[in-house]
Chains A and B, each alone.
Chain A
């Protein structure tokens, strides 16, 4: 017991290492110093090593002539183009296979995910076997399998498998006719654009009308009709200005048409089948996460099976599905870099492979490559977050 006359015990300021706030500050300062020390160490070593070994540095090489050919390019490219151009060609090829892969993997994944929950025992088992087989085998092995074991056993161009003398499949790839628009063809495209916009407007109007009156039109069928009929009418009216560039066998290979390289085919197949197996699992667990009461309530309101799925189950399941789906998309983009193993000219193969080897400027090339993938990851994440926010529960 203290006597009332004595002064209250003064709280001594604790030494700074006992004060969490100061300690945190000190710790962070030390951490920052360590980080800078490590970075400094690496940078100085690198500069010293580059200098000692006489390796050129800088980004000047991007303006030098590349001097090698690339088998597939979405933009104009010749061996006289610069290394900067090879970067673009590789980037576009990466984007091409990623986009194709994401589209196919999403379709396969949703089909298989729904099939896994099918009341049909056999279908559910087949979908289950698909998922368990393909997600447990390394992607690289699957790429090799499609490329070296399957596509390598296709016949030579002269013995191509053909479909109606227009589509050909051989060891050099898949050759399909290319559409060539005539002078008036642009109007058909315009009509198509108008039809799509009209359909969107119709769907929105229909939704508002339904909210207001409870009445709804079969907007899906009507908009499909608009999208098909309007361009078709314009197309016929303008005298059908579209011809097909049918591939012809001549010289060493088919000329004309569009050739899908076997490397692209193999990569596309492997990426979409592999990623599709993961997406199927995500879709399955997403649908299962929607409580059964929701379906039962929808059926009690006499919604049809399709409407239940479309209006009740999928919107709720999507909220569970989208975040893991995003990371699968990111994985697919990153995995497309395995292209280098079979020589599909993607960014890693063309730029981080051949360009790096011809210029020897590893640091610049690898940094640029990594920056591209980081940017792509960031963009896809941002888009999917936006999409997720739109799908999120709107609470009234």
Chain B
């Protein structure tokens, strides 16, 4: 332990304060605060220059953008021609080209619905929600699959690419939401049997990898149903994804339910409302608002996870690019292919995660 000492010599006058505004001051405050930080900053700058220069050189400056065949790729940089030549296939899969307007129309409808729901300024959110959750799926199904009003049927094995990725993710999330709500309510129930069934169901699906679920859906599901019923491969994958996702959704819903003060439900009970009225009119509408960021985050996770269907032989965006990489005419452009897929996924996921962060901030101030 140090002794207390008293210093009687006067201290030197301090130097004038350093500049605290301007570029140099900023650099000093943010990059070169001390020897360690300075070294780190210099190292980081060196690493960025060393890493990014060849990357930019490869991806932009030396890249080939225009052309239709691999002969166009001669400059030694990235061969984006590979992407542009196959772009339609990456988006639509094997969907017949003369019918692709139907996919486009579905995409546009979907974008409109989502914009309506997501942009706070637009009115009539309830109508939008009903349309998105109830009407849009039916319209989208008949548009994509056909079979109505003389539209030729496009069997699901011709679906592929980004379109299939979106179908899997959107159907998965929309179908998982109601099951998730029921499971979450069940988990909070006071009835022991209902509660334990819900808990077991949720924990089972959360405990196993999606791959085994997809395997089960593709290998075992046909054995579980009567022989007369034969399910489409896509439907089987969707059933697996939905069951898997509903467990995660249930946990999101549970989080939302727990955020609602108990007084709300008690007050509703005091007014003589039954269970379903209390839940449907009082608790869930409030909880749902709180759950939206969680739902968006679950959707991001599911959106990324849809790439797993390639293992059971469905041609989502990643699978179709992977298949194109094996084409003898385009051998050796795997990096371009993967970068393209990564870019598409990244745009979607990053955009959605930003939106969910924005919502979280917005909801935060509300309480």
Contacts and interface: CB of A to CB of B under 8 A. Distances in A.
Check if A and B associate: yes
Given A366-B216, A374-B208, A138 B193 contact: no
B227 interface: yes
Given A49-B227, A119-B30, A121-B31, A366 B41 contact: no
A152 B206 CA distance: 34
A149 B338 contact: yes
> A interface, by DSSP: helix, strand, loop or mixed?
helix
Interface in A339-373: 340-341, 348, 352, 356, 362-363, 366, 369-370, 373
A52 interface: yes
B311 interface: yes
Given A49-B223, A120-B37, A144-B318, A340 B211 contact: yes
B226 to A, nearest CB: 6
Given A28-B194, A119-B30, A121-B30, A46 B223 contact: yes
Interface centre among A50, A120, A337 (most CB of B within 10 A): A120
Contacts of B192: 28
A47 to B, nearest CB: 9
A141 interface: yes
Given A120-B41, A138-B304, A377-B207, A362 B349 contact: no
A337 B346 contact: no
B220 interface: yes
Contacts of A138: 304-305, 307, 318, 345
B101 interface: no
Contacts of B212: 337, 348, 352, 366, 369-370, 373
A31 B350 CA distance: 42
Interface string A40-71: 00100110111010000000000000000000
A337 B209 contact: yes
Contact of A341 (B40, B45, B311, B341): B311
B334 interface: yes
A330 to B, nearest CB: 8
Contacts of A42: 224
Contacts of B318: 138, 140-141, 144
A366 B208 CA distance: 11
A180 interface: no
Interface stretch (A129-137, A157-165, A233-241): A129-137
Contacts of B210: 334
Contact of B223 (A24, A50, A340): A50
**Which 7 residue pairs spanning A and B have beta carbons closest together?**
A121-B30, A136-B349, A334-B209, A138-B304, A377-B207, A337-B209, A28-B193
26 contacts: A27-B194, A31-B197, A32-B193, A46-B223, A49-B222, A120-B30, A120-B31, A121-B31, A123-B41, A132-B350, A136-B346, A138-B318, A140-B310, A141-B342, A141-B345, A144-B322, A145-B342, A334-B210, A341-B310, A362-B220, A366-B212, A366-B216, A370-B208, A373-B209, A377-B206, A377-B207
